[in-house]
Amino acid sequence: MALVDTQIEDGVAIVTLNRPEAMNALSAALRAELAAAMLHVAQDKAVRAVVLTGAGTRAFTAGLDLKELGADTGNLSAANASDATQNPVKAVEQCNKPVIGAINGVAITGGFELALACDVLIASTNARFADTHARIGIMPGWGLSQKLSRMIGITRAKELSLTGNFLDTATAERWGLVNRVVAADDLLPTAIALARDMASVDPAMSAAYKALIDEGYGLPFGIALELEAERSSAANRQVSADDVETRRRAVMARGREQG
């Protein structure tokens, strides 16, 4: 049985972590399969957006497989791995297409870090988030200590990381960690609908805009504005007036359909 299942339809790839009996824990084998799956969808021109989720309703992923870690302390190096075959955050980041995290259950520690690698998070009412690094005694190495504070504020991040307490979805939505919370049965349909909206954008434009947002987010604000001006000037010189008019009409038609 594949540890990561990929299904592609209408420009959207659904990538599913498939170890429900182990709460989709990130074993070495699963991490390698996830890297291969994300590289495949990144390179597949038929795919324009990705939904990442977990099998079952209990867990998105419980993080690194602690049984596997306990069997061999050499496995602790996975917490600091930079290669995509061992680091699931890098596996997701190698995809330049929009990645929507459909958080179907708990996202714990390394699973929390994997969720934060996604571009957008939609959560089921079954979902909860927890950072238990401090309780386990392993420092985060996949970005959680820096990303979380930037998303929800430093004091809230400290509350979560220094207690290991679970964060419910209502609070996660209020704090801006997840975009929306839906019933379990609505999770995949909602995530897929959003992915299809993103898939309807020109893929080159989508990739370039995603990169601009991500790269600018890691810079001081003034330098990020300079980056935008540089990228914008270079890209917009390549756009013709006819292109703008054609796309303007398409945007207006789409607005009427949605209105």
42 domain residue, yes or no = yes
What pLDDT is attached to residue 68? 75
pLDDT-flagged residues of the chain (< 70): 69-78, 242-244, 246-248, 250-251, 253-256, 259
- Looking at the fold, whether 253 and 131 belong to one and the same domain comes out as no
What pLDDT is attached to residue 1? 80
204 domain residue, yes or no = no
- Looking at the fold, whether 243 and 166 belong to one and the same domain comes out as no
- Looking at the fold, whether 147 and 251 belong to one and the same domain comes out as no
208 domain residue, yes or no = no
183 domain residue, yes or no = yes
Distance (Å, whole) CA 191 – CA 249 = 27
22 domain residue, yes or no = yes
Domain that holds residue 56: 4-199
- Looking at the fold, whether 229 and 182 belong to one and the same domain comes out as no
Q: Assign 3-class secondary structure to the chain.
A: CCCEEEEEECCEEEEEECCHHHCCCECHHHHHHHHHHHHHHHHCCCCCEEEEEECCCCEEECCECHHHHHHCHHHHHHHHCCCCCCCHHHHHHCCCCCEEEEECCEEECHHHHHHHCCCEEEEECCCEEECCHHHHCCCCCCCHHHHHHHHHCHHHHHHHHCCCCCEEHHHHHHCCCCCEEECHHHHHHHHHHHHHHHHCCCHHHHHHHHHHHHHHHCCCHHHHHHHHHHHHHHHHCCCCHHHHHHHHHHHHHHHHHHC
Q: What is the CATH number of the domain that holds 116?
A: 3.90.226.10
- Looking at the fold, whether 194 and 238 belong to one and the same domain comes out as no
- Looking at the fold, whether 181 and 230 belong to one and the same domain comes out as no
123 domain residue, yes or no = yes
- Looking at the fold, whether 226 and 189 belong to one and the same domain comes out as no
146 domain residue, yes or no = yes
What pLDDT is attached to residue 120? 98
What pLDDT is attached to residue 239? 78
